[in-house]
Amino acid sequence: MEEKQRVKLSQWDALMLEGLRAYGWSNEELLQRVRERNLPEDHSMYEFDYQALAEFAAANPDLFESAVKDGYSIKYNTLGGLRSWIAVAYGLEPVIVRDPGQEAVFAELTEAQKERLESIISFGWAIHEEAGKPGVYRMEPIQR
């Protein structure tokens, strides 16, 4: 059986989706709330406009449902966006390094978290376990 290819979301749409997942709703409840525009107001540092996500979902219902139910990958990650995704999706505070030639995001992840991150991270990024630091991973662009 052929594996279904994951849909691609913008980094911002992925962040908003993970912001809604943090409420602990089932996939069905999340989809229903987005369809009905019964969405919370975000007071986080990100100030997500969930109504914009509802607009995207209304314009792309099959794509959005697949992203919620089957997973997604991000079209293009940035250092800050990757740090933010880990923070929103996992409630962690990753470390970001912006030194030229050393750009990376570092986070302590479980194996399941790392596997999920591998499935969403955009093309052009690599995830490496830090030597001598089990569970600590470095996410970096393949080319600098």
| pLDDT, tens digit, 9 for 90 and up, residues 121-141 | 999 999 999 999 999 999 999
Asked if the model's pLDDT at residue 1 lies above 50, the reply is: no
Asked if the model's pLDDT at residue 70 lies above 90, the reply is: yes
Nearest partner of 82 among 4, 31, 14, judged by Cα: 14
Q: Which helix (H) or strand (E) holds 111?
A: helix 111-120
Nearest partner of 48 among 19, 77, 26, judged by Cα: 19
pLDDT band at 4 (very low <50, low <70, confident <90, very high): low
According to the model, what pLDDT value does residue 3 have? 54
Q: What is the pTM of this model?
A: 0.92
Q: What φ, ψ does residue 84 adopt, rounded to 5°?
A: -65, -40
Give the three-class secondary structure for 43: coil
Radius of gyration for the chain, computed over Cα atoms and rounded to the nearest angstrom: 16
